[in-house]
Amino acid sequence: MAEKVLMKGNEAIAEAAIKAGCRYFFGYPITPQNELPEYMSRRLPEVGGVFLQAESEVAASNMVYGAAGAGARVLTSSSSPGISLKMEGISYIAGAELPAVIVNIMRGGPGLGGIQSSQADYFQATKGGGHGDFRLCVLAPSTVQEAVDLTMEAFEIADRYRNPVMVLGDGIIGQMMEPVQFNKEIDPADLPKKEWATDGARGRPRNIINSLALDPQDLENHNLVLKAKYEQMKEQEVRYATYLLDDADRAIVAYGTTARIATSAIEMAREQGIRVGLIRPISLFPFPEKVIAEAANRLDSFLTVEMSLGQMVEDVRLAVNGKKPVFFYGRTAGMVPSPEEILEQIILMGGGGE
Amino acid sequence: MKLLAGYPEALTEKPFHYCPGCLHGIVHRLLAEVMDELEIREDTIGIAPVGCSVLAYQYFNIDMHEASHGRAPAVATGVKRVHPDKVVFTYQGDGDLASIGTAEIVHAANRGEKITTIFINNAIYGMTGGQMAPTTLPEQKTTTSPYGRDLDLAGHPIKMSEMLSVLDGSIFIARVSVHDPKHIREAKKMIKKAFLLQLAGKGFTLVEVLSTCPTNWGISPLAAIDWLKENMLPVYPLGVLKGGEID
Ligand SMILES: Cc1ncc(C[n+]2csc(CCOP(=O)(O)OP(=O)(O)O)c2C)c(N)n1
Ligand code: SF4
């Protein structure tokens, strides 16, 4: 077992990417994720990699598009307003079927918003975000260790599906310090060669990286290929955790930092004899709809808690499909729900129904 | 035996889709000949733009990456940083490079990215049907400057090569034209020089090529050649703007 080190979330994610064999980073500064590119600018030269501060997020995401097409494991990171700009490149990366990892350490919006922690980019992350029919695989850590593990997995998933993967953290995950360990280290030289990459057509037919298909039938066929990948993700990449769900009569659904706060609220409620449990989606796309649908057969009600005014709650409602009431509680714009506020909602949702 | 003329290996068999009299095809051919002569076909990655030459990836018989509008220099940066020992070029129109992609070209040049940009200046947006480009000439009529380009309203023809040549990262910037055989030969020489400098690992290189768009200028191919000579050459003087020494 590797030894534990105390690290800030942003830096731990950066180191995890390096341990996953990523040697290329293109980004643009924005709070609250600056420690990530700063760390990369120190570390990547040490391991023979390239850190490049792009002129904008638009450029950064297109550099990622180029590097991914050239066959490299490549990372970019940003926070909400920057992710909006990156969506151009991300849509092309998805369209051209390239692997890449994007980290979004969310802050409050819309517009310039604020710099405090938020979960208001759930829609953008899970419903495509850019133009066209595409999906990102979205992974949402709730601890710094999980941010490390999911970042390493993100590169594997990206390569497996040739699809961009987003690690979606909130500002608190990015800024918090926790002990972490890195249990794996991949040498990029050991990764399988990407036969489709643009690295010079030496002794082989040429490779083309492209997202254009002017014939609508061709383009529809291509979209169906993409959809088949998303369906496969739904079969194979769903990740979630539960807490005290077995004997529960009601459940909170929350992800990321909010799930940790909800855990405190659940413990307070349990002391009062309220049998409440937690379902914590870890993959936001594919969404763990089956576990929620199954719970809806058994539990009396659900409460979705988010640092937004209600985004994931729509997916929870789809999964519950009208079988049981789904309540919502959210704080947004950098405000964080307290365990006491959530406890109050747990009591209000009344396990026995309305 | 040495092949003196023939079909370049660096071009595919695919017929060009360009309009009759469009000069994009000539520039493709020159690029392909240069790649063949330098024997770099298997070591070159080309970045296609968004514009009439969006399908360039179908024509060059090399690894190609189709970029988003204006971002070819950023895509090229990503490719070149991963494969610093390969040759990377972008092929971009004037809407692509001089309007939506201004930031990307300026910063790629300023970083001294070791890439070559072939910049086709035809003073108009070809693909989208003849709208005004930043390179459109004063008084020139386009579908979005129907009364002629009004400098008060729309600013001035942008001189990208002059702008880029003042940056420390650029090492070779030349403006050429392909309106007659003499200039075509000169254009090829400049393209070759740019690639040689890239191979020598020096810095950013760009060749601006004055070109025609008979379709959207609304004149015959021959009249378009005359229009280029009479109107574009005075605004966009030909020559090496910067560098060019190969040591
Ligand atoms: C983001 C974005 N904006 C606009 C367009 C539409 N568009 C396609 S080509 C083009 C202009 C191309 O003109 P130019 O670069 O001069 O090349 P030409 O067609 O003249 O060769 C525009 C505006 C696009 N594809 N993407
Ligand atoms: S529209 Fe103009 S630039 Fe485009 S192919 Fe036709 S002539 Fe060439």
Is B121's C-beta closer than 6 angstroms to any atom of ligand 1? no
Partners of A117 in the β-ladder: A107
pLDDT tens profile A244-267: 999 999 999 999 999 999 999 999
Nearest CA, atom 1, ligand 2: B126
In a domain, A354, yes or no: no
Q: Which of A58, A63, A201 sits opposite B78 (nearest CB)?
A: A63
Substitution target from B38, B44, B77, B204 for chain A, most A beta carbons within 10 A: B77
Residue A89 in contact with partner chain B when CB distance is under 8 A: yes
Q: What percent of chain A has pLDDT over 90?
A: 97
Give B148-204 pLDDT, tens digit per residue.
999 999 999 999 999 999 999 999 999 999 999 999 999 999 999 999 999 999 899
Q: Each residue of B128-156: pLDDT tens digit? A: 999 999 999 999 999 999 999 999 999 99
Nearest to B67 among A55, A62, A200 (CB): A62
Q: Which residue from A minimizes the CA distance to B58?
A: A208
Question: Is A10 within a domain?
Answer: yes
Q: What does the pLDDT read at residue A226?
A: 98
Mean pLDDT for all residues in chain A: 97
**How far does A190 lie from chain B, in Å, by closest CA?**
16
Asked whether residue A202 falls in the same domain as residue A163, the answer is yes
pLDDT at B46 over 60: yes
> In this complex, is the C-beta atom of A72 within 8 Å of any C-beta atom belonging to chain B?
yes
Could you tell me if A204 and A258 lie in one domain? Answer: no
Tell whether A250 and A133 lie within a shared domain: no
B131 occurs within a structural domain: yes
Q: What is the mean pLDDT of residues A60-79?
A: 98
Q: Is the pLDDT of residue B245 over 90?
A: no
Quick one: pLDDT at residue A5?
A: 97
Could you say which of A218, A236, A254 is where a domain stops?
A236
d(CA B88, CA B107): 16
Query: Does residue A101 lie within any of the structural domains?
Result: yes
Q: Do B77 and A206 touch (CB under 8 A)?
A: no
End-to-end CA distance of chain A: 49
| A247 and A221 within one domain | no
pLDDT tens track for A183-234: 999 999 999 999 999 999 999 999 999 999 999 999 999 999 999 999 999 9
Q: Is the shortest distance between the CB of B133 and ligand 1 below 6 Å?
A: yes
Q: What are phi and psi of B38, to 5 degrees?
A: -85, 0
Q: What is the pLDDT of residue B222?
A: 97
Domain range enclosing A117 = 5-236
| Section A150-178 average pLDDT | 98
List CB contacts (< 8 A) between A40 and chain B. Answer: none
Q: What is the ipTM of this complex?
A: 0.96
Structure tokens at A61: 């995401």
Q: What is the CATH number of the domain that holds B163?
A: 3.40.50.970
Q: Give the HSE-up count for residue B240: Cα atoms under 13 Å, Cβ half-sphere.
A: 14
Q: Is the Cβ pair A55, B103 closer than 8 Å?
A: yes
Q: Residue A206 belongs to a domain with what CATH number?
A: 3.40.50.970
Nearest CA to ligand 1 atom 3: B69
Residues in contact with A322: Cβ distance below 8 Å, sequence separation at least 6, in sequence order: none
Q: Measured from the CB, is residue B215 less than 6 Å from ligand 2?
A: yes
| A344 CB-contact burial (10 Å; exposed 0-12 / middle 13-18 / buried 19+) | middle
In this complex, the residue of B43, B44, B75 whose CB is nearest that of residue A62 is: B75
- For residue A149, which of A122, A178, A121 has the smallest C-alpha distance? A178
Ligand showing the shortest atom-to-Cα distance for residue B224: 2
Q: Using an 8 Å Cβ cutoff, are A302 and A327 in contact?
A: yes
Indicate the number of domains in chain A.
2
Beta partners for residue A103, in sequence order: A77, A167
Same domain, A35 and A173: yes
Q: Are A80 and A118 in a shared domain?
A: yes
Domain-located, residue B3:
no
Distance (angstroms) between ligand 2 centre and the Cα of B156 equals: 23
Residue B189 CA to ligand 2 center (angstroms) comes to 24
Domain hosting residue B208, numbered range: 24-242
Distance of CA B12 from the midpoint of ligand 2 (Å): 20
Query: Are residues A107 and A81 part of one domain?
Result: yes
For B197, the token pair is 């400098």
A153 and A73 belong to one structural domain: yes
Q: Compute the distance from residue B215 Cα to the ligand 2 centre, in Å.
A: 6
Q: What is the C-alpha separation between A58 and A89, in angstroms, rounded?
A: 7
- Tell whether A217 and A263 lie within a shared domain: no
Pocket test for ligand 2, best of B136, B215, B222 (most atoms within 8 A of CB): B215
Domain assignment present for residue B42? The answer is: yes
- Beta-strand pair A137-139/A283-285: antiparallel
Q: Do B76 and A66 touch (CB under 8 A)?
A: yes
Q: Examine the pLDDT at A351 and tell me if it is beyond 90.
A: no
Instruction: State if residue B19 touches ligand 2 by the CB under 6 angstroms criterion.
Output: yes
- pLDDT band at B2; cut points 50, 70, 90: low
> Over 80: is that where the pLDDT of B244 sits?
no
**CA of B152 relative to ligand 2 center, distance in Å:** 28
Mean pLDDT, residues B228-236 = 98
SS3 assignment, position A153: helix
Residue B149 lies in a domain: yes
- Assess whether A251 and A214 both reside in one domain: no
Residue type, A288: P
Cβ-Cβ contacts under 8 Å between A and B: the total is 133
Q: A350: pLDDT confidence band, cut at 50, 70 and 90?
A: confident
Query: Can you give the CATH number for the domain in which A310 is found?
Result: 3.40.50.920
Domain count, chain B: 1
| Nearest CA-CA partner of B132 in B116, B119, B108, B150 | B150
pTM: 0.97
Give, using CA atoms, the residue closest to atom 20 of ligand 1. Answer: B126
By C-alpha distance, the chain B residue nearest A195 is: B63
| B85: in domain | yes
Ligand 1 center from residue B94 Cα (angstroms): 9
Looking at the structure, tell me whether residues A24 and A67 fall in a common domain.
yes
Check residue B6 and give its pLDDT.
87
What average pLDDT is seen over chain B? 96
- Which ligand places an atom closest to the C-alpha of B70? 1
Q: What is the pLDDT of residue A2?
A: 81
Give residue B81's Cα distance to chain centre: 22
Task: Indicate if A224 and A290 belong to the same structural domain.
Answer: no
Whether A201 contacts chain B with CB within 8 A? yes
Residue A201: closest CA among chain B residues belongs to which residue? B42
Residue A354's pLDDT is what? 40
Residue A79, classed as helix, strand or coil, is: coil
